[in-house]
Amino acid sequence: MGEIIFLAMFFVLSIYLYSLTGTFRASKMDASGGAAMFPRIVIILLCACLVIRIIQIIMQKEKKKFVWKELLEPARLFFVLCLVIYVVMLKTLGYIPATGLFLLVVVNRLYYLQKRNYGGKQEILIRTGLLIAFVIAMHFVFAGVLSVNLPKGFLV
């Protein structure tokens, strides 16, 4: 029952966030949906996944007890804290440095928690290169193709 309540809270939060996308400005000549299109798609997909998970929980024959304490396991707590720091620093540092730093710290730390080491030098270089390439590719997609204004930070 606790997991259903937790998922329902996320669902309500998602509906609220969806309502906030109505205030995003869009050009009168823009027929693509404007800046609100992508967040709306993500929120709709999230809500669909939440409903599916709630149905799965209800349909389960064996009920597992939901423990709120499990939400604060070290790996999850680390991720949530890093996410909060990322959101706070995004405007100050800008999209590319903040996202790159966030991904490098989180991915490497979670990798360490899983494997109990960071891997060899080659693994670290490949992982770092792929993460930086991903950040730059996402910047190109959002800023270049979709014309979404991403935070530039104090460096620009």
- Run means of pLDDT, 10 residues per run, the chain, 156 residues: 83 91 69 73 93 90 70 80 92 91 93 88 93 93 80 76
Residue 99 Cα distances to 25, 41, 95, 115, angstroms: 24, 21, 6, 24
Which pLDDT score is estimated for 67? 67
Which pLDDT score is estimated for 134? 94
Q: What angle do CA 67, 68, 72 make, to 5 degrees?
A: 115
Which pLDDT score is estimated for 122? 93
Which pLDDT score is estimated for 1? 66
The model carries a pTM of 0.65
Residue 102 Cα distances to 13, 40, 85, 99, angstroms: 24, 24, 9, 5
Which pLDDT score is estimated for 27? 62
| Domain limits, the chain | 1-66, 71-156
